[in-house]
């Protein structure tokens, strides 16, 4: 539906390069065209496949895919009506949703640090990516992502 408009948008704002900031293009397309992350990815891959043979760009893991994969590896543990933990198979908490104080805690070593290394080192960019994902995954608007000091929320 939006294929031509998205291609024009990408061509104007994102020249193809080896260090193309796909995560930023992905988020902007989701927001600008009001698309789901999967729709945006489809359009970006179509654009890239027409412009390049760079397999690394074509096989890129988008931030939302990374977060969905982390969440799918977790077991949901409801602590009380306001607090839910998402725990991996090793028994470590990965995410904690606290509706009482509107916080979404993210384990630094398992998630936040990966964002710093793979996508962007900027705190507010990471927070924005996770906040957008929270809306797509949980329909939560007023919850803010944080990571605790020392990877402990206690």
Residue 69 sits in the same domain as residue 115: yes
**Which tokens go with 75?**
């077991």
Q: What is the pLDDT of residue 88?
A: 95
Closest CA to 153 of 111, 97, 115, 114: 97
Tens of pLDDT, residue by residue over 8-21, are: 888 887 777 766 77
Tens of pLDDT, residue by residue over 55-73, are: 666 677 788 889 999 999 9
Residue 68 sits in the same domain as residue 51: no
Q: What's the order of all strands across the beta sheet hosting 144-146?
A: 75-78, 83-87, 93-98, 103-106, 144-146
22-33 helix and 3-13 helix, angle to the nearest 10 degrees? 140
Residue 67 sits in the same domain as residue 102: yes
Residue 134 sits in the same domain as residue 81: yes
Tens of pLDDT, residue by residue over 75-101, are: 999 999 999 999 999 999 999 999 999
Q: What is the pLDDT of residue 31?
A: 82
Tens of pLDDT, residue by residue over 22-53, are: 888 888 888 888 888 888 888 888 887 777 77
Check: CB of residue 29 under 8 Å from CB of residue 43.
yes
Residue 42 sits in the same domain as residue 9: yes
How many structural domains is the chain composed of? 2
Classify 85 as helix, strand or coil: strand
Residue 48 burial by CB count (10 A; 0-12/13-18/19+): exposed, middle or buried? buried
Classify 109 as helix, strand or coil: helix
Which residues make beta-bridge pairs with 144? 103
Residue 31 sits in the same domain as residue 80: no
Residue 84 sits in the same domain as residue 101: yes
Residue 54 sits in the same domain as residue 93: no
Residue 88 sits in the same domain as residue 136: yes
0.85 exceeded by the pTM?
A: no
Domain encompassing residue 30: 3-58
Residue 78 sits in the same domain as residue 42: no
Residue 92 sits in the same domain as residue 147: yes
């Amino acid at each position: 539906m939006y294929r031509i408009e998205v291609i024009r948008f990408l061509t104007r704002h994102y020249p193809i390069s080896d260090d193309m900031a796909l995560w930023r293009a992905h988020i902007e397309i989701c927001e600008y065209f009001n698309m789901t992350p999967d729709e945006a990815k489809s359009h970006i891959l179509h654009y890239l496949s027409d412009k390049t043979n760079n397999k690394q760009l074509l096989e890129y893991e988008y931030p939302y895919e990374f977060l969905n994969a982390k969440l799918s590896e977790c077991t949901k543990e409801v602590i009380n009506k306001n607090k839910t933990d998402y725990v991996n198979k090793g028994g470590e908490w990965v995410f904690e949703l606290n509706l009482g104080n509107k916080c979404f805690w993210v384990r630094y070593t398992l998630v936040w640090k990966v964002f710093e290394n793979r996508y962007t080192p900027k705190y507010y960019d990471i927070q924005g990516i996770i906040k957008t994902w929270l809306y797509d995954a949980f329909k939560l608007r007023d919850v803010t992502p944080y990571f605790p000091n020392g990877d402990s929320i206690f």
